[in-house]
Structure 1
Amino acid sequence: MALESGERGMILCLRFQLGETHEAALPELVALAENISPVVQALPPDALLVDVRGAVRYFGLDAAGLGSVLRVRALAHFGIGCSIGVAANPMLARMAARAAAPGTTLVVGDAAEFLAGRPVIALDGVGPSTARTLCSYGLDTIGKAAAAPLAALQRILGARAGRELHERAQGIDRTPVTPDAVSRSLAAERRFDRDELDRDRQRRALLSLAEELGVRLRGEDQVCRSLTLTVRYADRTTTTRTRTLREPTAHSAALIEAAYRIHESLGLQRARVRALALRAEDLIPAERAAHQLTFDEADERARTIEAVADRARAKFGPGAVKPGTLAA
């Protein structure tokens, strides 16, 4: 793929090695990257994209050099390492970061050479089902898909999907890096003193996490449109589930209910849980969110009490008011 002058390798993708004590660090890492470039997009749970086209001249470094600066700062400030991909567009940068060894930087020069021998499932937008279909036609690598006629791909996958695959296989990605607000997502986490099997203790931790996120969201006049729960187990594996909320909210009761539903859906009866992390995502200003009016007096009373509790926390500190379950 021919790259326009000035656009070669100007997108960074940083994938951080977020251990169990750093699961909520992504917003802080976004802020760190914004000291280099204002064009930063979070890729929860552990990565971000940085468009450095406006920063290379200011700092007198190329994109890989700026990536090294960010790696050193992440290690110095948070003790977090990362792998870095450098490419001309977000898709290639993400793929390079996935392919880079921890603590190293992989720069994509020739997109066709970088993509050619990789399995077709490594391409963005190609899932297991699509990959099986392509492999049944002998298109098991990205290079073979790139060499296939557009019409053939459209017959196999359909007009739109075939066209998108044809462009991606050529290394073309037209999506920009979309700058996030510093608090595009908010996260909180709890690590248990020992591997926890007790469902009630896990729910108590979820209650604490959702309450914390609710207070922080309301303090910043923001609401979230989705909630993500990450469960880390004793063997260091994780499960992540996201649920879209019925309406954008910062209401603690709604966040708690959603967190409980996600937790129940995982069926963790015998799982040894080491840590839980809850992340409020797709944040928007509260003034832009519509709230469905109801005649539920209990809901209105809960929101009134919540507002009073927030004022008490602002005056006396975050621990001044907490749910009775957590006061025990």
Structure 2
Amino acid sequence: MTTLYVRFLPPPPHEAALPQLVALLGEFSPTVEALPPDAALVDLGGAVRYFGRDAVELAAVIRVRALALYGVECVIGAGPGPMLARMAARTASPGVTRVVPDDPGAVAEFLAGQPVAALPGVGTATARTLCEYGLDTLGRVAAAPQGTLQRLTTARIGRELHEKARGVDRTRVTPNAATRSTAAERPFPRDELDPYRHRRALLSLADELGARLRDGKQVCRSLTLTVRYADRSTTTRARTLPEPTAHTAALSSAAYRMYEALGLQRARVRSLALRAEGLRPVEGAAHQLTFDPADEKARALEAVADRARAKFGPGTIVPGRLAA
């Protein structure tokens, strides 16, 4: 099986772009998994036989068509499965497809020198713990006993690390549609180290998305946080909300929890992006009553702020913590 991981550069400029780009990939394979906001996985198993071209040749055609039709460049990685394709794309450059051959020796060689943080699903906190014990590369993680990895992390994480560091990938490309969503991004003027400024940006993102959802009479079911670092690498985390909402306080709370779970310390952050997914009309969403006066007051103030924004413009009212 050959899998492509395709990331579009720059990210699609408007919400309709990703479904169109996913549809383009669908011309080469029926097995395409959209990964909002700016990527997709493609299973080329049948496409290689059908078109009589290898993965690199098909990737070149995809790149040309995306650029010609949508003005979007692609970074593409190819590998035996989704995990290796993702990792290959991390070191690929526009115009060149990075390939990990479907060969155990080649896979082991590719993984051996990779930093442990390059493994999909390994967050900053887990990587820090492993590095403290000298397990700073996937080659060293692969050589460690599974029991040791489980003691340093958890039973599940240790087992997954043990397998993935050896190139065992149990994930598959799952066909889906590019779900309806809306996103916002906050690039920093310079690579930002200050957690306080990170949190201000998250609050600003949640406030913008909340206002946008309420204006469109919609709620969202989940949030996805994307952190882009100084070296252009990214970390993405998603969280399903307790209930569909457009309430800024609920959105910001979820964003803060995802950010804190990353355990970023002295990380040079270039930008933060927040995506609201699973959008649906507000009429069909139920709100669980909390009997919390503070919550009801916040929602009442939010409604007043929305009316002011509608009358005087989107920047008329912002949360107090952003006004300073």
Which of the five TM-score ranges fits, normalised by the shorter chain?
A: 0.5 to 0.7
Q: Does the C-alpha gap of structure 1 residues 61 and 188 become closer, same or farther in structure 2, counting only changes over 3 Å?
A: same
Between the aligned partners of 2:3 and 2:155, the Cα distance in structure 1 is 29
CA RMSD of aligned residues (A): 4.6
* Residue deviations 1:220-263 (CA, integer Å, cap 9, x gap): xxx7412458899xxx9x999977444236xxxx3677668789
Query: Measured at CA, do residues 62 and 241 of structure 1 come closer, stay the same or move farther in structure 2, by a change above 3 Å?
Result: closer
1:163 Cα deviation after fit:
1.2
In 1, Cα distance between equivalents of 2:253 and 2:152: 39
Structure 1 partner of 2:87: 95
Matched, 1:69 2:69: no
Q: What CA deviation, in whole Å up to 9, does each residue of 1:153-202 have, x standing for no partner?
A: 233334322211110100111011122224x13236699xxxxxxxxxxx
TM-score normalised by the chain length of structure 1: 0.63
1:145 pairs with 141, 144, 157, which one?
141
Q: Does 1:113 align with 2:109?
A: yes
Q: Relative to 1, partners in 2 of residues 1:118 and 1:64: Cα closer, same or farther, differing over 3 Å?
A: same
In structure 1, C-alpha distance between the alignment counterparts of 2:138 and 2:115, rounded to whole Å:
6
Is residue 181 from structure 1 mapped to residue 177 from structure 2 by the alignment? yes
Measure how far apart 1:22 and its partner are. 1.6
Percent sequence identity is 55
Q: 2:19 aligns with which of 27, 42, 48?
A: 27
1:170 to 166, 172, 183: 166
Q: State the TM-score, normalizing by the size of structure 2.
A: 0.64
1:140: how far off? 1.8
Match of 1:291 among 283, 286, 290: 286
Deviation at 1:278, TM superposition (A): 6.6
1:49-64 to 2 correspondences below 5 Å:
49-64=41-56
Q: Which letter does structure 2 place at the counterpart of 1:84? A: I
Other-structure match for 1:225: 221
> Which SS does the other structure have where 1:61 is aligned?
coil
| Separation in structure 2 between the aligned mates of residue 143 and residue 73 of structure 1, nearest angstrom | 38
8 A Cα contact 1:11 1:49, kept in partner: yes
The structure-2 alpha-carbon separation of the partners of 1:119 and 1:30, relative to structure 1 and needing over 3 Å to count, comes to same
Corresponding residue for 2:121?
125
CA deviations over 1:15-40 (Å, ceiling 9, x no partner): 22125x72643333222222222222
- What is the rounded CA distance, in whole Å, between the counterparts of 2:210 and 2:252 in structure 1? 10
Aligned equivalents of 1:47 and 1:84: distance in 2?
10
1:80 equivalent in alignment to 2:72: yes
CA contact (8 A) 1:186 1:213 kept: no
Distance 2:285 2:156 in 1: 34
